[in-house]
Every structure is written in structure tokens, then in C-alpha cells.
Amino acid sequence: MKQYLDSNGDSGVAAYDVGADFIHVRFKDGWIYEYTSSSVGAHSLDAMKSLARSGDGLNSFINKQVRKKYARKWR
């Protein structure tokens, strides 16, 4: 996984991994969530990938737009 930049220092996101049809997001509490185009829609998935790469806004987007629409989660 790639470390999330967290340019403002206020995110709960620690790291992420991007694939063709998914994004894995590891939060600072150790939980990893998988979001897919099937679970959140292609538009939201593309937005999440872009935010992850920019290092800002991913946690906020998840909380406001896709909260519980993850495909699965694990530790």
C-alpha cells in the first residue's frame, strides 16, 4: 500500500492501494476497506482514486458520499 500524504494532517486515512476496479483504503485504526465500482459506482471510485493520489480529501469524501458502501473490510 502507498502511504496517504494527508497534506492537512487531519485525515483518518493512512494508506491506499488502487486497482483497475477497486481502491483499498487503510485507516489509522488498522481497518482496511475495499470500495469497488460495483459498491460505490464508477464515478465515485474514480473520484476516490484521484483524491487518494492527491493526498487530500479522501476521508471527507468517504464520510460524506460512500460511507457504508464498501464491498468488504478486514484487519
pTM of the model: 0.96
pLDDT of residue 7: 87
What secondary structure does DSSP assign to 9-72, as a single string? S--SEEEEEEETTEEEEEETTS-EEEEEHHHH-HHHHHHHHHHHHHTSSHHHHIIIIITT--SE
pLDDT tens readout for residues 15-58: 999 999 999 999 999 999 999 999 999 999 999 999 999 999 99
pLDDT tens readout for residues 54-75: 999 999 999 999 999 999 999 9
